[in-house]
Amino acid sequence: MRILITGGGVSFVFAMTCLGAASVFFFRKRQPGAFQQIFLGFAAGVMLAASVWSLLIPAINQTSGMPGWIPAATGVVFGSVFLLGMDAMLLRLRRFSGEGMISKRTALLVFAVTLHNIPEGMAVGLSFGLALRQNNPALQAAAMALALGIGIQNIPEGTAVSLPLQQDGVPPVKAFLLACLSGAVEPIFAALAILLAFWVAPVMPWLLSFAAGAMIYVALEELIPQAHCGQKPRMGIVGAVAGFVLMMSLDVALG
């Protein structure tokens, strides 16, 4: 029974990403410029809020043996530098590949959200792994609550990936599948964390902060500038505030 509950919790966080990604089926393939700005701003707001409340604050709280800001700051720097290198690599790849591939902005967005989902999946797996090893009902209840919270938070994240893909000309079904794939790493790394529960915990603050740095880079370098361009730059700001408030509220309300 405990194994079934663990499997259900791990699967739930992935299913919620796909649920959010399904929003792509409710929008036209191409939206006017103002709507595109809202989508991009929404994605930026979601990513900035998630990088703080889903990643950095837990990283600081989970740090032991040193000040919490050390892994947080170090992870953000290395995550940003890593995405900077990915940015340069994608730019070169696009020059060789022509215009047939999705935009560099969207590729970075998918990559950053996928990175962000790895430590989140590990956090869920770690919680269930400790509950299984100690056979503790209280720990299992806490793990289920964590899976519920992260799963609900994954709904706007799935939307923030699938809609920009669609606006890049990717067919809705493909945009949906790619957004789901960005969340597929969660059950994979959750299973890994369950198996290695006692060895994963010490590095979690560093992994969480690294993912936060990647998300912050994409939001500041790609999404916010694009959302602010065009005839109605304020629409991008509206989308960014809406995405930020929604993600922040979910993170705080769900713990």
pLDDT given for residue 218 in this prediction: 83
Secondary structure (DSSP) of 28-91: -SS--HHHHHHHHHHHHHHHHHIIIIIIIHHHHHH--SS-THHHHHHHHHHHHHHHHHHHHHHH
pLDDT given for residue 93 in this prediction: 57
Segments in the chain below pLDDT 70: 1-2, 28-33, 90-104, 139, 230-231, 255
pLDDT given for residue 221 in this prediction: 82
